[in-house]
Every structure is written in C-alpha cells, then in structure tokens.
Structure 1
C-alpha cells in the first residue's frame, strides 16, 4: 500500500483543473471555515475568469494538489498589500488525513518567498493547526467581513519568516 504522504504531489494548476477546483469551493462547510470568499463564489463564470487571469500572473504561484493523479485540492501564493500570502483548499472528503499539512510543507519547499502570511478565521482550528505544523507563528489579529458568513469576524494572522 502506498504511503499517502509520498503520493501527494503538487503541479502547476492548469485551466482544465478549474472546473473541479470550482466545485470544491462550493462546499458549504468548507466555505464557512474559509469565511473570506468572494461575494460571487458560486458564479462559475466569475471564478473561471478570475483564476484564468491569476494563472497568467507571474506573482502568483498556483499549484494543484494530487494524490495518485486525482485532484484533491489547490494551494497558492499571491501578493496582497505588498505581502506574500498563502491560501489552500482541500476537497472535504480528504479532510483529516494530513494532506493539507503535507501539501503545505511541499509547497513551502518550492515557494521560497519569505516572509509569507496566512490568514485564518478565528474558529478554523484545523487550518490554524496546519499553519502551526508548518512553522507559521501567530503574529496578530484583524477583523473583516466574511462573505461566507455574511458578518464581520475575527481572523488570526500567521507568519512564516526565514527564521521560523
């Protein structure tokens, strides 16, 4: 039997991946935990248009997460307010298996921008643990409007620096 961690691979995201990745982010529980989603997160045309542009942006590193050639999620580095930021999404049927932590470890080996930040909803304990396992340190909090919850919530700010 194959070790699931060695079977996890990252590859550059292709336009052909976007249809399935769009479906993953429609999951209501995942959206609730992610919290900070676009207002039109269920508009497939808007999603495809946005991510097609991001795939062409040289400051964005979009990777698709696969296990034995099956797409299970995505991970990316993007620039926001001059800072490198991390984002990831795992199909819910693959939660709780350590896939996000291992994918983030592998991603951080190829994406060397530092410092790099992660923002996570105050009650998204799973994502907080993933960031901490990968060396991120909680450095602050902020408040923002979470479209997925239709209210303002607290978010925690995590940072991975060269020294972490």
Structure 2
C-alpha cells in the first residue's frame, strides 16, 4: 500500500526523458544534497547516450508518476577484474517528487528487475533522505568511500542467505 494517490511506474528511457533528467540534475537543492556536480547540457547528453543508454550491461529505467517522468534509476558495473567488480545502483528524482514515498516505491519496483546481488550504493553521507530510503529497502552500511572532498556511505544489499537444506527423512 502506498501513502500517495499517484501511480508510480518504471519504463524504458526515451529521448524526451533526457531533458527532464537534465533539469532535475541542475536543481540547486538536489546538487547540494547529492554533492554531485551537474554537467553542461552537451556533456550530460553525451554521457547518457554513450555511457548509460549505450552500455547494454546497464539496467536503466525512467520513473514515472501518472505517466510523467519523475526521475531515473540506473544499475551499472564498476571494476575491471572479476573479483573486484561491483554492481551499483543510483537514482535521481526531481524535487517535486521528494518526500511522498515515490522514491521508495520506484526503487522497490526496480529491485524486482535488478536481480544482481550484492548490490551497492554510495550516497553522500549528508543526504540522510537517500540513506534512509536505501536502508528501508534492506541496504546495510558497509563502509565509507570518498568522492573528491566528500564522504559517501557505502551501502550494500546483500545476496539472500541460502535456503536451509530440507530435513532428512529416513
């Protein structure tokens, strides 16, 4: 049950979504909370078209609310060596959609599609709303990472514990 009347859905990204994503990325409060430096339009579009949409190992979805783009969620691989590769998830919601349960619902839907575990996230440590959202969905604190001058939390959604073997019958 959701605490809002809107219909939250995920769908594939279409070209028109990128303009909304660019606007969301340049929101001053979102930049302050995420500690993410927004890219100029051309760099943003190039990154999205090549590094995200052009990478068939990325799982990327547009979050919609009542069929309007509200943000995006992306999962990607980091690391080159098989033993050091990690699957990460990141998301961005436009400010009009904050604080309404939309992020939790959208990420919950996404985690049904993205089956790789463990799954990592590294939000800015001061972005308490994002940290709470991830923890609500089962992510656990695993450490600290630095991105430039900023401290980020490393959170992990672990692989489920293996099921116990069935009882032996004689």
The answer, yes or no, to whether TM exceeds 0.5 is yes
CA distance in 2, matches of 1:90, 1:100: 7
- Note the C-alpha offset of 1:20: 1.1
**Conserved 8 A contact 1:64-1:73:** yes
Show the 5 A alignment for 1:1-164: 4=4, 7-37=7-37, 41-53=38-50, 54-81=52-79, 82-145=85-148, 152-163=149-160
User: Structure 1 residue runs of 4+, over 3 Å off?
Assistant: 2-6
Structure of higher CA gyration radius: 2
Structure 1 Cα separation of the partners of residues 100 and 3 of structure 2: 12
SS in structure 2 at match of 1:155: strand
- Which of the pair has the greater relative contact order for Cα pairs under 8 Å at 6+ separation? 1
TM-score (norm 1): 0.88
TM-score by length of 2: 0.85
CA RMSD of aligned residues (A): 1.7
Q: Which has the higher helix share?
A: 1
- Paired residues of 2:6 and 2:66 also in contact (CA < 8 A): no
On the 8 A contact 2:70/2:93 being kept in 1, the answer is yes
**Count of equivalent residues:** 154
| Stretches of structure 2 lacking an aligned partner (at least 5 in a row) | 80-84, 162-170
Alignment gaps of 5+ in structure 1: 146-151
**What's the CA shift for 1:102?**
0.8
